[in-house]
């Protein structure tokens, strides 16, 4: 009995947890459960994710809507560090950034912070777990979540690449027609490219892909034939010549002193900063306005639809998709500049001769091209960018997105008329709800 009293006394004297302490303990228990479930899911190869599935899903979206080329771990680290700076440090950094953002390290950091911001906006719950790994000094779980995101990233990029590099063969002639159908006296007769043809025959080797790779400075000579047929044909031959010479010169440069890509060379080089014909709607081409028609090329639109809505919708035909597209899976019904840049890179790779995904294609670098495209849209005048996104949203989603469920019924439609009749016939306060009185009951009483 005395011992029972002592136990009671010790229980009474035990310090009680504050609400904050109880919340912290509960939070830690949930985190520990999450960590263990993550360990269990990754310990068996090939096991499907449940706890880590949101991270895998975020990885599927990462290249398409966040950043095609980024070190995901460094992106998270840079973003978290940026968010943890106090107001004073933030002000100082803004002044420094305004003074010089040209250093490669600062450019890379700024890109990481931009990607982190997009991730944080879309996946706040996942970001909270990353913050907890830092709070509990758990680098293993941090790495595990990053690895899972990377798995999704690789799967999405690989799937899209394989789809576009094959399907684009069915789009070439249609894209050429749609892009030039308003031009006077323009015709382009050429043999189509088959899915079974070697990809090594694309690039500057095939007239069709070569036509889509013409840099802006030469588009007028080909599509408008501003300097005559002979000048047009010379552009095509110079593209092949320029590619061969620059590739040869680049190989020599790797062995010794760096060489100038342009000097003392003939031909037209395909450079990372070139704005090529596939990016444009040629109908809107204006040699004095490089922005006119830019990022409105039919090939881009077809590829975007194939990736984000469904392959069957690429050419605009409204048919029932066999499965949900990426836009619906990720709950996205608006086009972003990041997704346009992603599709631009995928189409550029599909046009080149390389079979496997790679950044290098002669002197052309796909990563540099991607960031040139992305930075151009991000830094463009707001009005131009808004007009571009409005064009894209109409071209990709139009009335096929689920946004129409928020619209009111069209005037004169059955739904609109019945709502008017409800207001007219049930306006009495006692009968405000048409469902309040069962019609059957009314019928029986009148009988």
Q: Region 420-430: what's the mean pLDDT?
A: 76
Residues 75 and 188 in one domain: no
Higher-confidence residue of 442 and 234: namely 234
Residues 151 and 195 in one domain: no
Tokens standing for 375? 């930075």
Residues 432 and 356 in one domain: no
Higher-confidence residue of 439 and 59: namely 59
Residues 210 and 323 in one domain: yes
Domain of 418 in residue numbering reads as 409-436
pLDDT, position 324 = 62
The answer to whether residue 374 sits within a structural domain is yes
pLDDT, position 98 = 47
**What is the 3-state secondary structure of the chain?**
CHHHHHHHHHHHHCCCCCHHHHHHHHHHHHHHHHHHHHHHHHHCCCCCCCCCHHHHHHHHHHHHHHCCCCCHHHHHHHHHHHHHCCHHHHHHHHHHHHHCCCCHHHHHHHHHHHHHHHHHHHCHHHHHHHHHHHHCCCHHHHHHHHHHHHHHHHHHHHHHHHHHHHHHHHCHHHHHHHHHCCCCCCCCCCCCCCCCCCHHHCHHHCHHHHHHCCEHHHHHHHHHCCCCHHHHHHHHHHHHHHHHHHHHHHHHHHHCCCCCCCCCCCCCCCCCCCCEHHHECHHHCCCCCCCCCECCCHHHHHHHHHHHCCHHHCCCCCCCCCCCCHHHHCCCCCCCHHHHHHHHHHHHHHHCCCCCCCCEECCEEHHHHHHHHHHHHHHCCHHHHHHHHHHHHHHHCCCCCHHHHHCCCCCCCHHHHHHHHHHHHCCCHHHCCCCCCCHHHHHHHHC
pLDDT of 256 strictly over 90? no
The answer to whether residue 301 sits within a structural domain is yes
For residue range 167-197, list pLDDT tens digits in order. 999 999 999 999 998 887 677 777 889 999 9
pLDDT of 384 strictly over 80? yes
pLDDT band at 113 (very low <50, low <70, confident <90, very high): very high
pLDDT of 243 strictly over 50? yes
Q: Region 369-377: what's the mean pLDDT?
A: 97
Q: Region 11-25: what's the mean pLDDT?
A: 80
pLDDT of 404 strictly over 90? no
Residues 350 and 297 in one domain: yes
Residues 82 and 142 in one domain: yes
Tokens standing for 214? 């013409």
Our CA angle for 20, 22, 23, nearest 5°, is 65
The answer to whether residue 210 sits within a structural domain is yes
pLDDT band at 83 (very low <50, low <70, confident <90, very high): confident
pLDDT, position 305 = 95
Angle at which helix 337-351 crosses helix 298-308, to 10 degrees, equals 110
pLDDT band at 250 (very low <50, low <70, confident <90, very high): low
Question: Could you tell me which residues are beta bridge partners of residue 280?
Answer: 294
Contact of 212 with 277, CB cutoff 8 Å: yes
Residues 181 and 139 in one domain: no
pLDDT, position 241 = 85
The answer to whether residue 441 sits within a structural domain is no
Number of structural domains found in the chain: 3
pLDDT, position 445 = 44
The answer to whether residue 3 sits within a structural domain is no
Per the prediction, the chain carries an average pLDDT of: 84
Count of CA atoms in the C-beta half-sphere (13 A) of 346: 33
Look at 16-20, 69-73, 367-371 and tell me which has the smallest mean pLDDT: 16-20
Residues 142 and 59 in one domain: yes
Angle at which helix 139-167 crosses helix 337-351, to 10 degrees, equals 60
Q: Region 45-65: what's the mean pLDDT?
A: 94
pLDDT, position 267 = 86
Contact of 396 with 305, CB cutoff 8 Å: yes
The answer to whether residue 5 sits within a structural domain is no
pLDDT band at 1 (very low <50, low <70, confident <90, very high): very low
Look at 25-29, 134-138, 259-263, 342-346 and tell me which has the smallest mean pLDDT: 259-263
Our CA angle for 119, 122, 127, nearest 5°, is 55
Residues 365 and 247 in one domain: yes
Residues 200 and 129 in one domain: no
Which residues, at least 6 apart from 117, have a Cβ–Cβ distance to it below 8 Å?
79
Contact of 167 with 311, CB cutoff 8 Å: yes
Domain C-terminal end among 100, 130, 155:
155
Question: Could you give the CA distance from residue 261 to residue 363 in angstroms, rounded to a whole number?
Answer: 8
For residue range 319-356, list pLDDT tens digits in order. 545 456 777 788 888 999 999 999 999 999 999 999 99
Residues 379 and 427 in one domain: no
Q: Region 104-133: what's the mean pLDDT?
A: 95
pLDDT band at 399 (very low <50, low <70, confident <90, very high): low
The answer to whether residue 4 sits within a structural domain is no
| Its pTM surpasses 0.85 | no
The answer to whether residue 162 sits within a structural domain is no
Residues 272 and 125 in one domain: no
pLDDT, position 252 = 52
């Amino acid at each position: 009995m005395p011992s029972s009293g002592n136990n009671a006394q010790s229980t009474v004297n035990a310090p009680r947890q504050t609400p904050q302490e109880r919340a912290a303990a509960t939070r830690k228990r949930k985190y520990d459960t999450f960590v263990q479930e993550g360990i269990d899911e990754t310990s068996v190869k090939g096991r499907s994710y449940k706890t880590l599935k949101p991270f895998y899903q975020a990885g599927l979206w990462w290249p398409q809507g966040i950043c095609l080329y980024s070190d995901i771990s460094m992106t998270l680290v840079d973003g978290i560090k940026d968010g943890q700076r106090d107001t004073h440090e933030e002000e100082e950094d803004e002044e420094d950034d305004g003074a010089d953002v040209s250093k490669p390290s600062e450019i890379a950091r700024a890109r990481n912070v931009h990607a982190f911001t997009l991730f944080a906006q879309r996946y706040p719950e996942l970001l909270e777990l990353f913050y907890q790994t830092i709070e509990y000094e758990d680098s293993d779980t941090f790495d595990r979540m990053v690895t899972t995101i990377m798995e999704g990233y690789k799967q999405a990029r690989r799937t899209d690449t394989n789809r576009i590099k094959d399907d684009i063969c069915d789009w070439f002639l249609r894209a050429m027609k749609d892009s030039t159908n308003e031009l006077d006296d323009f015709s382009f007769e050429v043999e189509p490219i088959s899915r079974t043809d070697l990809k090594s025959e694309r690039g500057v080797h095939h007239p069709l892909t070569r036509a889509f790779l013409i840099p802006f400075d030469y588009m007028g000579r080909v599509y408008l034939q501003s300097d005559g047929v002979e000048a047009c044909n010379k552009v095509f031959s110079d593209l092949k010549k320029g590619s061969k010479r620059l590739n040869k010169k680049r190989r020599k440069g790797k062995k010794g002193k760096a060489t100038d890509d342009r000097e003392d060379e003939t031909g037209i080089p395909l450079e990372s900063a070139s704005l090529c014909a596939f990016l444009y709607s040629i109908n809107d081409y204006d040699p004095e306005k490089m922005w006119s028609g830019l990022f409105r090329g039919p090939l881009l639109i077809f590829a975007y639809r194939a990736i984000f809505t469904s392959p069957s919708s690429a050419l605009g035909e409204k048919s029932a998709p066999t499965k949900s597209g990426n836009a619906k899976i990720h709950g996205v019904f608006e086009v972003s500049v990041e997704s346009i840049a992603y599709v631009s890179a995928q189409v550029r790779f599909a046009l080149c001769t390389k079979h496997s995904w790679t950044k290098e294609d002669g002197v052309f670098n796909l990563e540099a091209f991607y960031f040139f495209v992305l930075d151009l849209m991000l830094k463009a005048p707001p009005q131009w960018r808004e007009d571009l996104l409005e064009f894209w949203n109409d071209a990709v989603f139009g009335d096929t997105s689920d946004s129409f469920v928020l619209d009111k019924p069209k005037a004169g439609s059955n739904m609109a008329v019945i709502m008017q009749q409800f207001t007219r016939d049930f306006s009495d306060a006692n009968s405000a709800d048409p469902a309040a009185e069962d019609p059957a009951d009314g019928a029986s009483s009148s009988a």
